[in-house]
Amino acid sequence: MDRVNLEIGPISFEYADYDIEHDVLYLSVGPPEVGVGEDTPEGHVVRYAPGTSRVVGLTLISPRRLVDRDGGITVTVPETVEKSADELAPLLAAA
Protein backbone atom coordinates (compact mmCIF):
# COMPACT_ATOMS: atom_id res chain seq x y z
CA MET A 1 0.00 0.00 0.00
CA ASP A 2 1.13 3.51 -0.76
CA ARG A 3 1.14 6.36 1.78
CA VAL A 4 -1.52 8.97 1.04
CA ASN A 5 -3.36 11.75 2.79
CA LEU A 6 -7.05 11.63 1.86
CA GLU A 7 -9.78 12.96 4.09
CA ILE A 8 -13.30 11.68 3.59
CA GLY A 9 -15.62 13.38 6.04
CA PRO A 10 -14.04 13.22 9.49
CA ILE A 11 -11.78 10.29 8.56
CA SER A 12 -8.20 10.66 7.36
CA PHE A 13 -6.94 7.75 5.29
CA GLU A 14 -3.17 7.23 5.27
CA TYR A 15 -2.76 4.23 2.95
CA ALA A 16 -4.21 3.33 -0.44
CA ASP A 17 -3.97 0.46 -2.87
CA TYR A 18 -5.72 0.62 -6.23
CA ASP A 19 -6.51 -2.60 -8.08
CA ILE A 20 -6.70 -1.23 -11.62
CA GLU A 21 -7.74 -4.58 -13.14
CA HIS A 22 -10.85 -4.84 -10.95
CA ASP A 23 -11.35 -1.08 -10.36
CA VAL A 24 -11.30 -1.33 -6.56
CA LEU A 25 -9.63 1.23 -4.27
CA TYR A 26 -8.66 0.06 -0.80
CA LEU A 27 -8.11 2.81 1.79
CA SER A 28 -6.79 2.32 5.34
CA VAL A 29 -6.74 4.72 8.27
CA GLY A 30 -3.41 3.31 9.47
CA PRO A 31 -1.44 0.28 8.42
CA PRO A 32 -3.98 -2.24 7.05
CA GLU A 33 -5.69 -4.31 9.72
CA VAL A 34 -8.52 -6.79 9.94
CA GLY A 35 -11.94 -5.18 10.01
CA VAL A 36 -15.60 -6.04 9.90
CA GLY A 37 -17.18 -4.77 6.69
CA GLU A 38 -20.46 -2.92 6.39
CA ASP A 39 -21.95 -1.98 3.03
CA THR A 40 -22.72 1.68 2.39
CA PRO A 41 -25.90 2.77 0.59
CA GLU A 42 -23.71 3.48 -2.47
CA GLY A 43 -22.30 -0.07 -2.62
CA HIS A 44 -18.89 0.56 -1.06
CA VAL A 45 -17.64 -1.13 2.14
CA VAL A 46 -16.63 0.59 5.39
CA ARG A 47 -14.41 -1.56 7.60
CA TYR A 48 -14.60 -1.21 11.39
CA ALA A 49 -12.25 -2.57 14.05
CA PRO A 50 -14.00 -5.70 15.38
CA GLY A 51 -16.45 -4.92 18.18
CA THR A 52 -16.08 -1.13 17.79
CA SER A 53 -17.35 1.78 15.72
CA ARG A 54 -13.76 2.83 14.82
CA VAL A 55 -13.28 2.97 11.05
CA VAL A 56 -10.09 1.20 9.95
CA GLY A 57 -10.67 1.17 6.21
CA LEU A 58 -12.85 1.82 3.22
CA THR A 59 -13.19 -0.13 0.00
CA LEU A 60 -14.45 1.88 -2.96
CA ILE A 61 -16.05 -0.27 -5.64
CA SER A 62 -15.64 0.92 -9.27
CA PRO A 63 -14.15 4.33 -8.37
CA ARG A 64 -12.70 4.95 -11.87
CA ARG A 65 -16.06 4.18 -13.53
CA LEU A 66 -17.89 6.43 -11.04
CA VAL A 67 -15.41 9.29 -11.47
CA ASP A 68 -15.61 9.01 -15.27
CA ARG A 69 -19.42 8.85 -15.20
CA ASP A 70 -20.25 11.27 -12.37
CA GLY A 71 -17.14 13.41 -11.92
CA GLY A 72 -16.69 12.19 -8.33
CA ILE A 73 -17.75 9.66 -5.73
CA THR A 74 -20.36 9.78 -2.99
CA VAL A 75 -19.81 7.57 0.05
CA THR A 76 -21.47 7.30 3.46
CA VAL A 77 -18.86 6.97 6.27
CA PRO A 78 -21.15 7.30 8.34
CA GLU A 79 -22.39 10.64 6.98
CA THR A 80 -22.64 11.13 3.21
CA VAL A 81 -19.52 12.72 1.71
CA GLU A 82 -18.63 13.61 -1.88
CA LYS A 83 -15.09 13.56 -3.30
CA SER A 84 -14.25 15.18 -6.65
CA ALA A 85 -12.38 13.60 -9.54
CA ASP A 86 -9.44 15.94 -8.88
CA GLU A 87 -9.16 14.76 -5.27
CA LEU A 88 -9.20 11.10 -6.34
CA ALA A 89 -7.05 11.33 -9.50
CA PRO A 90 -3.67 10.64 -7.82
CA LEU A 91 -5.06 7.49 -6.19
CA LEU A 92 -6.62 6.15 -9.39
CA ALA A 93 -3.56 6.71 -11.59
CA ALA A 94 -2.12 3.62 -13.16
CA ALA A 95 0.78 2.29 -11.11
CB 44 within 8 A of CB 55: no
In the chain, DSSP finds a helix count (H) and a strand count (E) of 2, 8
Cα-Cα-Cα-Cα dihedral sign, residues 74, 65, 86, 61: positive
Q: Is the pTM of this model over 0.85?
A: no
Helices (H), the chain: 63-70, 85-92
Measured in degrees and rounded to the nearest 5, phi and psi for residue 5 equal -140, 95
pLDDT of residue 2: 87
The list of the chain residues with pLDDT below 70 reads: 80-81, 94-95
Strand partners, 76: 80
pLDDT of residue 77: 84
